[in-house]
Chain A
Amino acid sequence: MTESLLIPKTTPPIARTQLRAYADASGDVNPMHLDEEFAKRAGFPSVIVHGMLSLSMMAEYGIASLTERRYSLRRLKGRFRKVALPDRPLVLGGEIKNREPEGGVTLSLWAKNPEGEVIADAEANLTPA
């Protein structure tokens, strides 16, 4: 493992109750995440995890991984590659892509399903808080 790799983190399985909680907290009540029949009519095996829930978890993981000092998130850009299904964990990982002389850090972040497939990846730019 190189110095730049972040220590991976496996989340608890994302329960449907968490999808409901995230929908209530964020306002994203798209039935794709809450209504089993709607999701199945759309061609999915069940409701799917909010992409932004995965991205939020990745961002918090990235911030928490940098322990040498406090950082503030300045920019986050994520791409959603595959849907994540509920009742399954995500494996969060990343690496430090760049360290700037004035202290800024660029991270590559990813979230994988239990099969090891990337469901989302992101780039995060952080500056010392």
Chain B
Amino acid sequence: MIRHEFKVGERLIECSAERKGEIVQVEVDGRIFQVRSLGDNQYAVTTGDATLKAAAVTVDGKTYVEINSVLIELTEPGEDVATSVGGDHDTEPDKVYAPMPGKVVKLLVVVGDVVEPNQPAVIVEAMKMENPVMVRAKGVVRSVNFAVGDQVDTDSPIIELDLDKE
């Protein structure tokens, strides 16, 4: 019996597996899955009487699984979960980040403005398209860290708020 842990987004998944001839039997969250390798990075995974096909590859500690045409990325727990769109800032509702590297083309708020959730705060241009970025919480703008024309990446907050104390 071999144990393995994976992280998908914020969720930690514990798996215990054993080899049964050609099949690898994996228990995940109390469910039993039979996984068979089909060659060329393809797998068949059966649970109950339903079988799904998947393609999977592991690179640098990250496993990409395409199952039912959905791509799921699994990492080793403790590894940084970097999504393809530059970092997961869901834990910082008081900051506004660019969703991808680009250029600030318009600032829609100034220091002192009262803002509501989903209010557009800044427009970032990338790949010749303008993307309005919304505030995610109620509060007052405490600082605007970039000016129109500045290049921004996904790791520096463009706008910071003082959240309303609920």
Q: Do A and B come from one complex?
A: no
- Interface residues of chain B, those whose CB is within 8 Å of chain A, are none
